[in-house]
Structure 1
Amino acid sequence: MNTIAWVGRKVGGALVVLWLVASAIFIAIRLIPGDPAEAIMGGPGSQASAQALAAARAEYALDQPIITQYFLYLGKLLTFDFGTSYSLKQPVTQVMGEVLPNTLWLSLMALLIAWLLALCFSALAMRAGRIGTFVGNLLEIIAAAVPHFWLGAVLIMLFSSALGWLPAVDNGTGRGLVLPILTLALPLAGFLTQLMRDSLTEAMSSQFALAARARGESRLKLFWRHGLRHAALPALSLTGWAFSSLLSGAVVVEAIFARPGLGRSLLSAVLARDIPMVTGIALFSALVYIVVMAISEGIERMINPAGDPR
């Protein structure tokens, strides 16, 4: 029963969040200077006639009162009708379906690599001395703070221009994915390592850890059986946020490495004032955030169902 109530709360909360995001998008779009009908016709440079602009307003209900436009907008979203892209002249769902797998695969691989790096660095920090701990802390801070565009440029200069090991742009092969994945994963790995290292230090020096050591349990066994679980919980609770940050970072990374995906499509849509495309991608990003947050919370409940600090 508790599980059913938890799922019900999550579904209800997701619907409220999506409604708020959709409403915020609607308001933000209406605050953008300029005539939306001109964007539909191809922008101010299209030199559309007054009759063509009037026809576009009538077709998209832009000549209706704002409250009517709002409810028509929500009605279409309820039927998963995001409209047609102004610039591509294709249904938004079709365009998103074509580029979505690329972005999801890139983000999932970056999340996996970030977690693996964080686990490895946390385990090494447990055995490091004072100097090693200081160097590790410094590298974690630098990795967490470095912006994606700068890191991507550095990786291209090092591994593509200088060493020639990897392509500078995504060429559709596994080698072409390495630099985009590392560009997304390294900052996140630095942040996750900071969380996990602090939790690991606290767990390994707690009363239950000292009692386990007194019973003869090795430090390595204690790490895998107890310390790792407690070190992973704080980072796991932020996995939903982390995945959303990867989706937002994909906007920059896909542009740097010329990789087709949601991020690159969003950038092009913003520049072209393609309102349906911006709306569809923004709502999908919010939905992904909600789903991943629910999954990470469910995994956290499985690992620590009673919230037991031991």
Structure 2
Amino acid sequence: MRRYVLRRLAQAVAVLWAAYTVSFLVLDLLPGDPVSAMAGGGLDQAPLDPAVLARMRHEYGFDQPVWLQYLEYLGRAARGDFGHSVATGRPVTTVIAEALPPTLALTAAALLLAVVFGAGLASYATYTPRRWLRQALLSLPGLGVSLPTFWVGLILVQLLSFRLRLLPAFGNDGLRGLVLPALTLAVPTSALIAQVLAKSLLTALDEPYVETARAKGAGPARIHLRHALRNAALPALTVVGLVVGNLLAGSVVVESVFSRNGLGRATVNAVTVQDIPLVQGVVVFGAAAFVLVNLAVDLIYPLLDPRIVAAGRRSPA
């Protein structure tokens, strides 16, 4: 088990390094620099004096070679220091910490709804004895996966806010203001979870151990929930780990559609003015969240299937 955990930790560190490196290279390829963007009035500021621009470039290290900037920023990032926002002059960690709570609440609510809807749909679709209902329910995930997030958001706003007037359309209005954005993120994600879990359940229900359980007198509900669902949960659990990153990325679109303050809107503003330190901080945070969730999923795997650890012991690597 220890070797399994250490291998996963090493992979997590490699993912974080790759995320930081790729974001640095992509941002470096953008034309101009953050200081020039500010001088052009990116934040409704007056153009700055050339001497001030030169001082700011030197202060942020933009006058150094690219490889030296990379090494310096990487060393700081390894210590948890992402520098200061070029646009506001505040520490990047402070900006992220202030913008994070609404985004975390949105992501957590969307993930909870997606797991409940997806698992419920897959379980009922594979449990019902009515063939026509099963086929109808199993066709829904394919439709849900194909729906763009922004389109789902616009439809929900039109239906639940403008027509029925049940929920607010915009802003951070407490729990009521969280419902529509969370549903917008949850619909495509729940469809993906349902698609994977339903396929795994159908496969598990054809396994010999299910026939053995039936022969011993186990009822359909017991077979479905205790035997088939536990073995079918591994692929769906993998999907849950992967969609966390998609939910964080989707929050950028959703927070823009619903005019919510959060990490998504802060990211859009940072990209607009080429605030490189803030963008890199957000990218690394998103990668860290993705890595931590998948690491937790990897550690849960052996609890559901001890054969994973046993296979790792037999492998040469």
- TM-score band, normalised by shorter chain: over 0.9
Deviation (angstroms), 1:65: 2.4
Aligned to 2:7: 9
State the SS of the aligned residue for 2:307: coil
- Cα deviation per residue 1:140-189 (whole Å; 9 max; x = unaligned)? 11111111100000001111111111111134321111111111111111
Q: Is the 8 A contact 1:122 1:196 kept in 2?
A: yes
What runs of 5+ residues in structure 2 fail to find an aligned partner?
310-317
1:193–1:216 Cα change, 3 Å: same
Q: Structure 2-normalised TM-score? A: 0.91
User: Aligned-pair distance for 1:40?
Assistant: 5.2
Residue 138, structure 1, aligned to residue 142, structure 2: no
2:301–2:308 CA contact under 8 A, matched in 1: no
Distance 2:34 2:263 in 1: 23
Match of 1:104 in 2: 104
Report the RMSD for the aligned CA atoms in angstroms.
Answer: 1.8
**Percent of residue pairs bearing the same amino acid type:** 38
Instruction: Give the aligned length.
Output: 306
Counterparts of 1:155 and 1:5, CA distance in 2 = 47
Segments of 4+ moved more than 6 angstroms: none
Separation in 2, partners of 1:240, 1:199: 17
Per mean C-alpha deviation after superposition, the further-off stretch among 66-75 and 219-228 is 66-75
Take 2:9 and 2:96, find their aligned partners in 1: how far apart are those partners? 24
- Structure 2 residue identity aligned to 1:24: V
Q: Deviations for 1:92-121, whole angstroms, at most 9, x for unmatched residues?
A: 111111111211121112111111112211
Distance 1:24 1:121 in 2: 38
2:38 touches 2:47 (CA, 8 Å); kept in 1?
no
* Equivalent residue letter for 2:63: D
Q: Which amino acid aligns with 2:302?
A: R
Query: Aligned AA for 1:110?
Result: A
Contact 2:34 2:86 in 1 (8 A): no
* Paired residues for 1:211-250 under 5 Å: 211-250=212-251
TM-score (ref. length: structure 1): 0.93
Name the SS for the 1:295 alignment partner.
helix
Amino acid aligned to 2:97: G
Rounded to whole Å, the distance in 2 between the matches of 1:255 and 1:142 is 24
Contact 2:33–2:274 (CA<8 Å) still a contact in 1? no
Task: Between the two structures, name the one with larger relative contact order (CA 8 Å, sep ≥ 6).
Answer: 2
Task: Tell me the alpha carbon deviations over residues 234-266 of structure 1, each in whole angstroms, 9 at most, x when there is no partner.
Answer: 110122211111001111111111111111111
Structural mapping, 1:172-211, within 5 Å: 172-211=173-212
Question: Within 5 A, what are the aligned runs for 1:32-51?
Answer: 32-39=30-37, 41=39, 43=41, 46-51=46-51
Q: Output aligned runs, 1:130-169, within 5 Å.
A: 130-169=131-170
